[in-house]
C-alpha cells in the first residue's frame, strides 16, 4: 500500500511532465491530463477504503526513516480529502477541456493544472512541516500562473495583490517553521507531537497561534480574507472553481492538522470560536452587498470557512469530525456553484445579476443545477450542506457553546437570502435577448456530475460522518499519529 | 553570533514591511525580497551557533553545525528566487499595460470613495 500512497503524488507529477512534452499536441495533452486526473481519483479512491480497513500508512521517502527523512502519511483525514479533491479536479478539468479555450491549453494549461494537483496531493499527504511549506509553494505558484493566464487591465492588479499576499504568507510560514525548528529540533510533525511537550507552554502557544495566523491567511479567515474576493473572480471559470473548491480548504486542512496534533487543547478554544463567528457573518454580509454572481460566491467562500474553524474550535471528536465533513461538502459544492456561474456567464455573456434575467425559462437544466447547489450551500435537507451543518450544530450543543451555534444558524439564513437574490435576479423573469453562446455539452455534463456528487455526499451522510469521526479521533487521540509514523513513544 | 543574525533578521523584516506598504510596485517587490531574506536568516540561525563545518570528516571530533537547516534554507532560497522572478515579470506586464508602476487602489475602496464624494456634493 505504500506504493499506492506514493502513486498519488507520482501520477499528477508525471501528468504535468508528459503534458509539457506534448505541448504542441492538443489532443495528446488532453488525453494525458485527463488520464492523470482519472488515475488520481482511482488511486485515492482505493486509498480511501484501504486506509479505513487496514489502517493508515506512512512512507519513508527514499528509505530514510522518520524522523530523519521526509515522511508521507496517508491517514484517514488525508485520504478522505485527497479523494474529494481528486473528484473536484477531474470534474473541473472536463469542464475546462469542453470550454473552447484551445490557445490557453496550448500555452501549458494542462501541465500547470497537474502541478497544482501535485501540490494539493503533497500538502495533504506530507508528514513534515517543511515539506508542507514546499507543497504550498508548488500549489500557490501553479495558482499564480493559472490566475494570470488571461491577465490584462484590471486583472493584472488583482493577480499582483494575490501573489504579494501569497509571498508574505509564505515568508511568515517559513519563519514560523524556523522558530519551531529552533525550539524543538525537528520539523517532522509526528516527532514534534512529543518534542513540543518539553517547550514552555507560553512559547508553544505562541508558535501555535503563529501557524494559525499563517494558514489563516491561506484559508481566508476573518480578518485576513480581503485578498480573496478581489482576486478569485477575475480568472477563467474553471480556474476560479478550482481555487474556490480547493485552495482555501487546503489552508483549513493545514490548520486542522497542526492545531490538533501539535497544539492540542483540552476544551473549546474561545478565541477560535470568535474568529469563526466573525468569519461567517462578515463573509455573508459581504456577499449580500455584491451584484455579480462570482463575487457573491467568493464572499461565500469566506463565510463557509468560518463553519470549519468553528468545528475545530470545539476541540471535540464530534466537532473536528463535523469540520472534516464540512470541508468535504464545501470542496464539491463550491466548485459546482462556480461552474454553474460559469455556465450562466457563457450563455448570457455576463454574470451581473442586474443584467441577466430569465435563465430558468431558457435553460431549465442550469437553473436546476444552481438550485440544488445553492440549497446545499444554505444547508437544506436532504443535501450535503445539511449533513455538515447538522453535525456542526450537534457538536456545538455537546460542547455547550450556544452563542456561536446561534451565529452559525443566523449566517445560514443570510446565505439563503443571498442565494435567493441570485435566483430572483438571474433565473426568474423573462429572458431579454437571444443567448450569446450555448455552453458546450461537456461543460454542463461536468457541472451536473459535480452536483450529483453533492447528492451522493448527502446520501452517504451517515458513513461519511462515521468515517470523519474515526479520522478526528486519530487526530485527537494522543500518540496515534506518532506511533504510525515513528513507532511507539519511548 | 546568533544575536547578530537575530538583529539582522529583525532589521530586514522592518525595512521589508516598510517597503511593502509603499505604493510603487518595484518597492513592494524589493520589500518582499528583504522579508524573504529575513525568513531565510531566521531559518539559518535556528540550527545553533554558525561557523562550524556541517560535514564531519573522518577522525574529526568536536562540535559541528546542523546540516539540515542549511538544506532547508537552500530549498527556500530557490523557491523565493523563482517566485520573485515571476512577480517581476508580472510587474513588467503591469507597467506595459498601465504605463505606471503604481499599484492602484482597491476596486471597492474606490467605489466607496466615489459614493462619499457624491454625498458631499449633494449636501
How many Cβ atoms sit within 10 Å of the Cβ of residue A404? Answer: 24
Chain A residues with CB under 8 Å of B82 CB are: 141
For residue A358, which of A302, A419, A434, A412 has the smallest C-alpha distance? A434
Chain A's closest residue to B88, CA to CA, is: A160
d(CA B79, CA B77): 5
B 37-66 residues with CB < 8 A to A? 38-40, 42-43, 45-47
Q: Which residues of A96-112 are buried (b: 16+ CB within 10 A; e: fewer)?
A: bbbbebeebbeebbbbb
Average pLDDT value for residue range B76-81 = 91
Can you say whether residue A153 is alpha, beta or left, with left for phi > 0 and alpha for psi between -120 and 50 degrees? Answer: left
Chain A residues with CB under 8 Å of B27 CB are: none
**Reported confidence tier of residue A22, pLDDT bands at 50, 70, 90:** confident
Are A141 and B39 a contacting pair at CB < 8 A? no
Considering only CB atoms, A160 lies closest to which of B84, B90, B107, namely B90
d(CA A207, CA B34): 22
Q: Which helix (H) or strand (E) holds A374?
A: helix A364-378
Classify residue A289 as exposed, middle or buried by CB count within 10 Å of its CB (0-12, 13-18, 19+): exposed
Are A160 and B20 a contacting pair at CB < 8 A? no
Chain A's closest residue to B95, CA to CA, is: A156
pLDDT in tens, A347-369: 877 777 777 777 777 788 888 89
- Using the predicted structure, report yes or no on whether residue A436 has a pLDDT greater than 70: no
Chain B interface, best mutation among A126, A159, A160, A287, by max B CB count within 10 A:
A160
Are A181 and B69 a contacting pair at CB < 8 A? yes
Q: Do residues A376 and A454 make contact, with C-beta atoms less than 8 angstroms apart?
A: yes
How many Cβ atoms sit within 10 Å of the Cβ of residue A2? Answer: 12
pLDDT in tens, B12-57: 999 999 999 888 888 999 999 999 999 999 988 887 766 677 777 7
Q: Which helix (H) or strand (E) holds A77?
A: helix A76-98
Q: Do residues A166 and A140 make contact, with C-beta atoms less than 8 angstroms apart?
A: yes
Considering only CB atoms, A167 lies closest to which of B32, B103, B106, namely B32
Helix (H, G, I), strand (E, B) or coil at A226: coil
Chain A residues with CB under 8 Å of B101 CB are: none
- Using the predicted structure, report yes or no on whether residue A489 has a pLDDT greater than 60: no
Are A153 and B97 a contacting pair at CB < 8 A? yes
Secondary-structure breakdown of chain A: helix, strand, coil percentages, each rounded to the nearest 5:
80, 5, 20
Q: Do residues A133 and B77 make contact, with C-beta atoms less than 8 angstroms apart?
A: no
Q: How far is B75 from chain A (nearest CA, A)?
A: 8
CATH number for the domain spanning B81: value is 1.10.287.3510
**Reported confidence tier of residue A105, pLDDT bands at 50, 70, 90:** low
DSSP assignment of A14-48 equals HHHHHHHHTTT-HHHHHHHHHHHHHHHHHHHHHHH
Q: Kindly state whether B24 is in contact with chain A, defined as any CB-CB distance less than 8 angstroms.
A: no
Question: Regarding predicted confidence, which is higher, A429 or A288?
Answer: A288
**Structural domains of chain B, count:** 1
Q: Cα–Cα distances in Å, from A135 out to A141, A145, A417, A422, B49?
A: 10, 16, 38, 36, 29
Q: What is the percentage of chain A residues whose pLDDT exceeds 90?
A: 40
Chain B residues with CB under 8 Å of A179 CB are: 42, 46
Chain B interface, best mutation among A126, A134, A156, by max B CB count within 10 A:
A156
Predicted model pTM: 0.92
Chain A interface, best mutation among B43, B78, B103, by max A CB count within 10 A:
B43
Chain B interface, best mutation among A153, A166, A175, by max B CB count within 10 A:
A175
Contacts 24+ apart (CB under 8 A), B35-39: B35/A167, B35/A168, B35/A171, B36/A167, B36/A171, B36/A174, B36/B76, B36/B80, B36/B84, B37/B12, B38/A171, B38/A175, B38/B8, B38/B9, B38/B10, B38/B12, B38/B13, B39/A171, B39/A172, B39/A174, B39/A175, B39/A178, B39/B9, B39/B76
Q: Kindly state whether B83 is in contact with chain A, defined as any CB-CB distance less than 8 angstroms.
A: yes
For residue A390 the three cell numbers come to: 447538522
d(CA B1, CA B9): 12
pLDDT at position A478 = 77
Average pLDDT value for residue range A402-430 = 87
Chain B's closest residue to A137, CA to CA, is: B79
Considering only CB atoms, B107 lies closest to which of A137, A145, A230, namely A230
d(CA A368, CA A370): 5
How high is the ipTM of this complex?
Answer: 0.87
Q: Do residues A339 and A237 make contact, with C-beta atoms less than 8 angstroms apart?
A: yes
pLDDT at position A43 = 93
Amino acid at each position: 500500500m505504500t506504493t499506492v500512497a506514493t502513486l498519488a503524488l507520482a501520477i499528477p507529477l508525471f501528468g504535468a511532465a508528459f503534458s509539457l512534452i506534448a505541448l504542441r499536441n492538443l489532443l495528446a495533452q488532453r488525453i494525458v491530463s485527463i488520464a492523470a486526473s482519472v488515475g488520481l481519483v482511482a488511486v485515492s479512491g482505493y486509498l480511501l477504503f484501504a486506509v479505513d480497513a487496514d489502517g493508515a500508512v506512512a512512507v519513508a521517502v527514499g528509505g530514510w526513516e522518520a524522523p530523519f527523512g521526509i515522511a508521507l502519511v496517508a491517514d484517514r483525514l488525508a485520504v478522505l480529502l485527497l479523494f474529494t479533491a481528486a473528484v473536484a479536479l477531474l470534474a473541473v478539468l472536463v469542464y475546462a477541456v469542453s470550454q473552447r479555450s484551445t490557445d490557453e491549453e496550448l500555452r501549458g494549461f494542462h501541465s500547470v493544472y497537474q502541478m497544482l494537483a501535485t501540490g494539493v496531493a503533497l500538502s495533504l499527504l506530507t508528514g513534515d512541516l517543511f515539506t508542507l511549506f514546499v507543497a504550498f509553494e508548488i500549489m500557490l505558484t501553479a495558482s499564480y500562473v493559472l490566475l494570470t493566464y488571461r491577465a490584462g487591465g484590471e486583472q493584472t492588479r488583482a493577480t499582483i495583490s494575490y501573489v504579494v499576499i501569497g509571498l508574505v504568507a509564505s515568508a511568515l510560514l517559513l519563519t514560523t517553521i524556523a522558530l519551531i525548528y529552533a525550539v524543538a529540533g525537528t520539523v517532522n510533525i509526528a516527532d514534534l507531537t512529543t518534542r513540543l511537550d518539553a517547550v514552555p507552554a507560553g512559547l508553544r502557544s505562541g508558535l501555535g497561534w503563529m501557524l494559525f495566523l499563517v494558514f489563516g491567511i491561506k484559508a481566508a479567515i476573518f480578518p485576513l480574507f480581503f485578498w480573496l474576493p478581489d482576486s478569485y473572480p477575475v480568472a477563467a471559470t474553471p480556474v476560479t472553481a478550482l481555487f474556490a473548491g480547493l485552495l482555501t480548504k487546503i489552508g483549513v486542512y493545514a490548520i486542522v492538522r497542526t492545531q490538533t496534533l501539535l497544539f492540542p487543547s483540552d476544551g473549546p478554544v474561545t478565541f477560535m470560536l470568535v474568529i469563526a463567528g466573525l468569519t461567517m457573518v462578515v463573509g455573508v454580509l459581504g456577499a449580500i452587498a455584491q451584484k455579480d454572481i462570482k463575487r457573491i460566491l467568493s464572499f461565500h467562500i469566506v463565510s463557509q470557512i468560518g463553519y470549519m474553524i468553528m468545528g475545530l474550535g470545539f476541540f471535540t471528536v464530534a466537532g473536528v469530525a463535523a469540520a472534516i465533513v464540512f470541508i468535504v461538502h464545501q470542496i464539491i459544492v463550491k466548485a459546482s456553484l462556480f461552474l454553474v456561474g460559469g455556465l450562466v456567464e457563457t450563455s448570457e455573456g455576463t454574470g451581473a445579476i442586474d443584467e441577466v434575467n430569465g435563465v430558468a425559462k431558457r435553460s431549465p437544466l442550469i437553473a436546476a443545477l444552481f438550485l440544488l447547489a445553492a440549497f446545499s450551500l444554505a444547508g437544506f435537507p436532504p443535501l450535503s450542506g445539511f449533513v455538515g451543518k447538522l453535525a456542526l450544530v450537534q457538536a456545538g450543543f455537546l460542547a455547550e457553546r450556544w452563542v456561536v451555534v446561534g451565529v452559525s444558524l443566523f449566517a445560514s439564513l443570510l446565505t439563503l437570502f443571498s442565494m435567493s437574490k441570485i435566483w430572483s435576479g438571474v433565473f426568474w423573469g423573462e429572458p431579454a435577448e437571444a443567448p450569446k453562446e450555448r455552453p458546450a455539452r461537456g461543460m454542463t455534463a461536468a457541472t451536473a456530475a459535480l452536483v450529483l456528487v453533492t447528492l451522493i455526499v448527502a446520501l452517504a451522510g451517515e458513513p461519511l460522518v462515521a468515517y470523519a469521526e474515526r479520522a478526528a479521533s486519530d487526530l485527537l487521540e494522543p500518540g496515534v499519529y506518532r506511533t504510525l509514523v515513528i513507532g511507539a513513544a519511548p | 553570533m546568533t544575536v547578530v543574525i537575530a538583529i539582522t533578521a529583525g532589521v530586514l523584516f522592518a525595512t521589508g514591511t516598510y517597503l511593502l506598504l509603499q505604493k510603487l510596485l518595484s518597492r513592494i517587490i524589493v520589500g518582499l525580497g528583504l522579508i524573504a531574506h529575513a525568513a531565510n536568516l531566521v531559518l539559518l540561525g535556528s540550527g545553533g551557533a554558525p561557523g562550524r563545518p556541517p560535514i564531519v570528516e573522518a577522525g574529526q571530533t568536536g562540535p559541528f553545525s546542523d546540516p539540515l537547516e542549511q538544506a532547508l534554507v537552500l530549498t527556500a532560497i530557490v523557491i523565493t528566487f523563482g517566485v520573485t522572478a515571476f512577480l517581476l515579470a508580472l510587474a513588467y506586464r503591469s507597467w506595459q499595460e498601465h504605463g505606471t508602476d503604481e499599484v492602484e487602489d482597491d476596486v471597492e475602496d474606490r467605489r466607496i470613495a466615489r459614493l462619499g464624494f457624491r454625498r458631499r456634493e449633494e449636501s
